[in-house]
Structure 1
């Protein structure tokens, strides 16, 4: 029964607003996440044991990270066919009410199994798991302000600079049409932790010195978490109402590359060309991790021959047109 699962309860005093890159003193949230994930791995609950065969930073100023993980393509669950930004939840397809008890790591909050952390059965990286917000409501993969707020709080519960969160929307490489966020530890310094961003409108910046142009919000610009979340959700929800495909990535941030302290949190939001149908999992598909600069490659020949220019062209192609289309329109909305 689920009553045997741990229940993680927290409040604001448990948040870590500043973390150090040089030390990994686990918070209680890090501890329960890593331990339950490792136990699930030992119990062979995953579709494969995580085995990243090689990792490299591609030469060039963008510091793209490429990782060779052929098992993910070979063993992962077949992705759902996504055909619309307003596709309804389908109870007959795989969804997160069908998880086995072994796949559920722990409960967030009150033990009602509504907000939970579960394994991602085909992991990209260490402790790759899913945050399932209001799971029992059977919501489609359309972001809610509640889920965004909760996932920001989970990030702040960590004492690690490397815990990241991300969201693939409908027609933006999401594989399951049931509301979920991804969490994982990515222990590589990434350019988007500190890249320069440009002023746009109050509380929202533009990411333009990068092949995947998009929008960025920083926690340090706001008085509290609620205002940060509310402003970010205005951007995301406008894209949802306009039925424009989008991806969202949340990361710890710092002022410059050699800073020891991560003293900020950034939310990146990309509007992008829609992808419909069943995705070809053997190709390099630009989901949110790829937009952030983290590339999972299944084919060794592709991995060996990959260059920064290849990725620049890929990211530019799926974001440039949509970004230019929405930039002025969104500004009018945000200024109201």
Structure 2
């Protein structure tokens, strides 16, 4: 007999039109009168369009520095996001004023940031959401981003056809090709909190592919603001909506993970991407940086995400430093939560450690937790997120095997090894593959015959 495991979780409302009832979605599919972002309301609609350069710009320090020196289009995209976001705030579209939320830096060596955001502590009737499957089919009966109001969408974000960045105040929406759009999150974590939704009308499930991640990198590069970071949560790692999207917002201080020391593992020769491992940080993770081109950096990270998805390993991604660095965190908190391995004290905080919390921005929903915030408490939460050392080594083996296969390589060349720093101990592909063969491959998040569900 199978055992049904359930987690009670408070969902985050990202749109003013977010509903639970499947029948409401069914009614809208036949047409509505509220100007939604679906086929019933889109014909004839127009939105601002930002057309980014779309060239395969080198992702190294010199090239990105040159891009940042340009006033257009870099500064323009940054001002566009902020200007449109401010406009929606003035129009009262947000559920609360995030600029009024208390924030402080927690004393300690990590400098974790604590924010009291009681507006995200909502009480709603629970709905079921699986946490034991990273890949799940899109379900049009549940809330998705085609149900948002057009007033919540800021602009379209597309590659320029002629290679030059351009802006159009009123551009038709290409329904047939499905636009990439940037929309507000009506329950913001911080200033300028937006959602990047690739090919919104294709209704893609929450899974990274090469095209979508390259789009996210382009947005980070084009914004050219080091305080603007993009994040991604997979299913099973506290994504709350199974419709492909990235999040982004401004935080005017470094994330603690951005200051964490790293140890170089290798340089992927074909991509020119340096891969490092976080050191002395509560959550084990990998850092990708550099690359011969932006496409190469994107491919290295996308190959990794596709590998994790295929092996049913939940993960979070942080795009940092204007697209220079990407942090990737395999995690297991929801698995432990479902198995009853997380303390009641942590569960009572109702903090779901997604990409922002893992990166060091602790979004707290109760005043008590904010007042008692300490580095010890933050580390205690993140310790439950991190994979064990042994499991992390196994996951690294899976990742490098996938990357090497993608590059049509089975090992790192001697030239690649020589490019590493002499004081770094490097694991060869043979070492990684051998480890994988010895330890085996975990393809399930929760072993056994459990039907693991989360109650939102």
Q: Answer yes or no: same fold by TM over 0.5.
A: yes
Equivalent position SS for 2:351: coil
Unpaired segments ≥5 residues, structure 2: 1-41, 58-62, 159-170, 268-273, 339-346, 405-409, 411-456
Is this contact kept in 2: 1:52–1:68, CA < 8 A? Answer: no
Q: CA deviation at 1:302?
A: 0.7
Q: Match for residue 373 of structure 2?
A: 306
Within 5 A, what are the aligned runs for 1:1-336?
Answer: 3-11=45-53, 17-18=64-65, 27-74=75-122, 81-83=129-131, 84-109=133-158, 111-112=173-174, 114-202=179-267, 203-218=274-289, 220=290, 222-252=291-321, 265-273=324-332, 275=334, 283-321=350-388, 322-335=391-404, 336=410
- DSSP-derived class of the 2:211 partner: helix
- Name the CA distance, whole Å, in 2 between partners of 1:40 and 1:324: 45
Q: Which stretch has the larger CA shift, 186-195 or 155-164?
A: 186-195
Change (3 A) 1:207 1:286: same
SS in 2 for 1:268: strand
The 8 Å contact of residues 248 and 267 in structure 1, kept in 2 or not, is answered as yes
1:147-187: CA deviations, max 9, x gaps? 11011111111132100000010010001000000011111
Query: What is the SS of the residue equivalent to 1:317?
Result: helix
CA contact (8 A) 1:19 1:159 kept: no
Moved more, 134-143 or 164-173: 134-143
Q: 1:75 to 1:50 in 2, by over 3 A?
A: farther
In the superposition, relative to structure 1, how do residues 121 and 56 fare at CA in structure 2: closer, same or farther (>3 Å)? same
Q: Is the 8 A contact 2:56 2:295 kept in 1?
A: no
Report the 3-state secondary structure (helix = DSSP H, G, I; strand = E; otherwise coil) of the residue aligned with 1:160.
coil
Deviation at 1:244? Answer: 0.4
Aligned match of 1:261: none
* TM-score normalised per structure 2: 0.65
CA offsets, 1:75-126, max 9 Å, x none? 8997872332222111011001111111111111274252000111110011
- 1:70/1:76 CA distance change after superposition, 3 Å: farther
Output one character per residue of 1:190-217: Cα deviation in whole Å (capped at 9) or x when no partner: 3333432112232321112211110110
Structure 1: runs of 5 or more not aligned: 254-263
The separation in 2 between residues aligned to 1:182 and 1:281, in whole angstroms, is 25
Q: How large is the Cα RMSD of the aligned pairs?
A: 2.9
Helix, strand or coil for the counterpart of 1:198? strand
Question: How many residues were matched structurally?
Answer: 321
Q: Any idea what SS the aligned residue of 1:320 has?
A: coil
Q: Judging changes above 3 Å, is the alpha-carbon distance between structure 1 residues 79 and 187 closer, same or farther for their aligned structure 2 residues?
A: farther
Distance in 2 between residues matched to 1:34 and 1:14, nearest whole Å: 26
Distance in 2 (alpha carbons) for counterparts of 1:34 and 1:168: 23
